[in-house]
Amino acid sequence: MAASPSRPALYTAINFVSTLNDLDNPSQLVPLADLAGLLAHVVKSAQTTQDASAEAYALNQWGRLYDRTQQHGEAKAVTTRSLEIARRLGADNIIAQSAWQMGRIAKTRNQRSEAIGFYKEAIKSLQAIRGDLVAVNQDMQFSYRESVEPIYREMVALLLDGQPGQAELAQARDIVESLQVAELDNFFREACLDKARQIDQVDPTATVVYPIILPDRLAVILSTAGQPLRYYSVAQTKEDTERVVAAMYRSLSPVDNARDRLAQSQKLYDWLIRPAEQDNAFKDTKNLVFVLDGHLRNLPMAALHDGKQYLIEKYAVTLSPGLQLMASHSKTTDQAKVIIGGISDARSGFAALPGVATEVKTISNTLSSNTLLNQQFTGLALSNQVKNSDASIVHLATHGQFSSRMEDTFLLTWDGRVNVKELAELLRSREGDRAKAVELLVLSACDTAAGDDRAALGLAGLAVKSGARSTIATLWPVKDKAASLLMTQFYSNLKNKNFTKAEALRQAQLHLIQKTDFREPFFWSGVVLVGNWQ
């Protein structure tokens, strides 16, 4: 009698099939019948060795194999067995994958309520393992973009099919929120959010806008305190939506054709904002809070144009990673202290930022400050200042980059780089003392990584992980003089007790639009506020 395969051999076989299952046409490499035979052998061997996890994984891949060949009855049978074993084991990572597969099979059969039930189970299991990501079986570690994110998106699409009611809209909104959390967890490779608060409970004059890019439409959910959720959708394919987003992003360059820029901007305005305005949904709204999805994250919503004026000329505009907002302290910015760090000289291959010196000087004249400029702005000096100062504002004017990869998200110091996780942990170290918590983090002269369609994820990650109540950052490097003017005006506005942070930034942006030569959106719209706008 031949010896049973070892555990590593079983998982090697499962991983082999899993890799082929991810291909568009695996039968070009291996006949599907041979793959099915291999999995049947793995299942039998796993039963013999009493390796229930391997059996569940193998059955899951077998179900995928049947599903792609439209053998839905067989796919349902083996996937049901996989899910039953996973439930018995309490193996959330297997449950997530098999419940998702059962949901897809039910959707194929037009069994919508059953499909939604399975998707809910899959998402619940994903949320259960978010606090212990390293515990996911390393033999079967699944790709986030391929095996996690689609579960959330497909669930939202199911909930929004037809004419969704309030319960379905609320569920869809919550799933979008969960997707934001999952993306940030994946960015940091650890669970980084443990508190949640409804944004629409923070400010009754705010409306939260959730644009959701789905395969066949661009969906928008609106959430305003004390009002029913509203839903709008535009029949646009994902590819068409992303094409327009990319075109608008490119058109923001000041050398681009202004007519093209307005055309793209108005198109997105018509999709995202105009249906709600025509519905009088923003009647009492002062602040629009965007929980952005996908490629939209790299785009400044303030620059959307209705044909007559920019969105920022009508509302204050804020970005949020979701409902994870912590209550802001009482606003006493006129007496606030600020830590200012910056590099104006060329350093480490990065160009000089001569406007930084003016920016640092002007801010230090506006608010009480501790200043670190050029040679003084080292990683150790910044750490000491943050740990020992009671300043509620940290303003860093230096080269930096936001990326969807944590290791590529950093700020430049005189003696090297500070990684986003290091900076976040440094700032968060003061959170235990409420009186010393960072109220506002400002990152001037940073940039989103070129060619990275999720670069703004690094900004969102830092904004949340740092514990700062609010973060202001630049999506691209802005001309020195424009940046200096905007920041100077912002801090001047911030001293006005009648202005929220969002309104202080809005007024600074309006100042550039109305009273300077920097009225093109390139100069002001890339400065964004993330988090608490009050």
| Burial class of residue 71 in the structure, from the number of CB atoms within 10 Å of its CB (0-12 exposed, 13-18 middle, 19+ buried) | middle
pLDDT tens track for 230-250: 999 999 999 999 999 999 999
The model's confidence at residue 132, banded by pLDDT at 50, 70 and 90, is: low
Residues 360 and 481 in one domain: yes
The model's confidence at residue 463, banded by pLDDT at 50, 70 and 90, is: confident
Q: Rounded to whole angstroms, how far apart are CA atoms 377 and 386? A: 12
Q: From 285, 319, 353, give the residue that closes a domain.
A: 319
Q: Rounded to whole angstroms, how far apart are CA atoms 110 and 122? A: 19
Q: From 142, 173, 208, give the residue that closes a domain.
A: 142
DSSP string across 119-180 = HHHHHHHHHHHGGGGGGS-GGGPPPHHHHTHHHHHHHHHHHTSSS--HHHHHHHHHHHHHHH
Q: Give the range of the structural domain holding residue 268, as residue numbers without chain letter.
A: 199-319
Q: Is the Cα torsion angle 343, 345, 350, 354 positive or negative in sign? A: positive
Residues recorded for the chain: 534
- pLDDT at residue 332 is higher than 70: no
Going by their DSSP bridges, the two strands 470-474 and 410-413 should be labelled as: unpaired
Does some domain include residue 189? no
Residues 292 and 400 in one domain: no
- pLDDT at residue 446 is higher than 70: yes
3-state secondary structure of 116: helix
Structure tokens at 144: 């986030």
Q: What is the pLDDT of residue 279?
A: 94
- pLDDT at residue 187 is higher than 60: yes
Q: How many CA atoms lie within 13 A of 217 on its CB side?
A: 15
Residues 297 and 350 in one domain: no
Region for 309 from its dihedrals, namely left if φ exceeds 0, alpha if ψ lies in -120 to 50, beta otherwise: beta
Region 257-279 average pLDDT: 94
3-state secondary structure of 248: helix
- Please state the domain count of the chain: 3
* Cβ contact 190:461 at 8 Å: no
Q: Is the Cα torsion angle 462, 463, 466, 472 positive or negative in sign? A: positive
Residues 213 and 314 in one domain: yes
Residues 444 and 518 in one domain: yes
Q: How many CA atoms lie within 13 A of 53 on its CB side?
A: 14
Q: From 98, 125, 142, give the residue that closes a domain.
A: 142
Residues 279 and 398 in one domain: no
Residues 447 and 480 in one domain: yes
Q: Rounded to whole angstroms, how far apart are CA atoms 252 and 262? A: 10
Q: Is the Cα torsion angle 167, 171, 172, 177 positive or negative in sign? A: positive
Region 371-384 average pLDDT: 95
Q: Rounded to whole angstroms, how far apart are CA atoms 20 and 38? A: 13
Domain harbouring 346, CATH code: 3.40.50.1460
Does some domain include residue 284? yes
Residues 94 and 18 in one domain: yes
The model's confidence at residue 193, banded by pLDDT at 50, 70 and 90, is: low
Kind plus residue range of the DSSP H or E element containing 338: strand 337-342
Residues 311 and 346 in one domain: no
pTM for the full predicted model:
0.90
Does some domain include residue 373? yes
Q: What is the pLDDT of residue 145?
A: 66
Q: What is the pLDDT of residue 137?
A: 43
Does some domain include residue 186? no
* Cβ contact 205:285 at 8 Å: yes
Q: Rounded to whole angstroms, how far apart are CA atoms 245 and 455? A: 14
Residues 414 and 378 in one domain: yes
The values of phi and psi at residue 192, to 5°, are -115, -5
The model's confidence at residue 511, banded by pLDDT at 50, 70 and 90, is: very high
Does some domain include residue 237? yes
Does some domain include residue 179? no
Helix ranges (H only) for 252-392 are 258-272, 274-278, 354-366, 379-388
Residues 397 and 520 in one domain: yes
Does some domain include residue 157? no
- pLDDT at residue 147 is higher than 80: no
Domain harbouring 57, CATH code: 1.25.40.10
Does some domain include residue 66? yes
Domain harbouring 213, CATH code: 3.30.420
Q: What is the pLDDT of residue 366?
A: 87
DSSP string across 193-228 = ----B-GGGT-TTEEEEEEEEETTEEEEEEEETTS-
Residues 417 and 526 in one domain: yes
